[in-house]
């Protein structure tokens, strides 16, 4: 099984989907990553603001940041190899790598309400 790692730029939280104005792209990536995890795919996202050690310890990422600066982020690695810079994978790219259909990866989580409308 392939190991997917995403190195995100500095964001306010681990997914970037917090605060008053949320980037729809970050919501999409968060949904896809959660669906990949639910389907047993080994995928990890690192946030430069909250997990700087991951960026320092990974030689390829450290070198990219030294040579190109933080504008190179986000970076996606598969099995330790950089496969995409400056943008997240599309849902279709995630589907191709994981073997899981794009439609399944883009399914939004369902919220179950309790008997009295409670979550």
Q: What are phi and psi of 84, to 5 degrees?
A: -155, 140
Give the residue, 70 or 109, on which the prediction is more confident. Answer: 70
Q: Strands, E, within the chain: which ranges?
A: 3-8, 42-47, 75-78, 81-85
Please state the φ and ψ torsions of residue 28, each to the nearest 5 degrees. -60, -50
Structural domains of the chain, count = 1
Q: Is residue 46 a part of any domain in this protein?
A: yes
Mean per-residue pLDDT, 6-19: 72
Asked whether residue 60 is assigned to any structural domain, the reply reads yes
- Counting residues of the chain whose pLDDT is more than 90, the rounded percentage is 73
> What pLDDT does 33 receive?
97
For the entire predicted model, the pTM comes to 0.84
**What does the buried/exposed string (b/e) look like for 33-62 if buried means 16 or more CB atoms within 10 Å of the residue's CB?**
bbbbeeeebebebbbbeebeebbeebeebe
| 93 domain-assigned | yes
Does 111 reside within a domain?
A: no
What pLDDT is stored for residue 17 in this prediction? Answer: 55
The reported pLDDT for the residue numbered 108 is: 86
Which domain, by its residues, includes 51? 3-105
Of 79, 118, 98, the residue nearest 41 (C-alpha) = 98
CATH number at residue 10: 3.40.30.10
Question: Given a cut of 60, is residue 15 above it in pLDDT?
Answer: no
In a domain, 118, yes or no: no
Residue 38 CA to residue 31 CA, distance in Å, equals 11
Q: Which of helix, strand or coil describes residue 94? A: helix
Higher confidence at residue 2 or residue 77?
77
pLDDT at 60: 97
% helix, strand, coil for the chain, step of 5: 40, 20, 45
Assigned domain for 113 exists: no
């Amino acid at each position: 099984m392939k190991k997917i790692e995403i190195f995100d730029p500095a964001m306010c939280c681990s997914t970037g989907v917090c605060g008053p104005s949320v980037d729809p792209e970050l919501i999409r990536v968060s949904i896809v990553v959660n669906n990949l995890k639910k389907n047993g795919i080994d995928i990890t996202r690192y946030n430069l603001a909250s997990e700087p050690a991951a960026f320092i310890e990974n030689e390829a990422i450290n070198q990219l940041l030294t040579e190109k600066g933080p504008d190179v982020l986000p970076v996606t690695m598969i099995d330790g190899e950089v496969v995409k810079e400056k943008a997240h994978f599309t849902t279709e790219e995630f589907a191709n790598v994981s073997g899981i259909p794009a439609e399944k990866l883009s399914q939004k989580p369902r919220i179950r309400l309790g008997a009295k409308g409670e979550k």
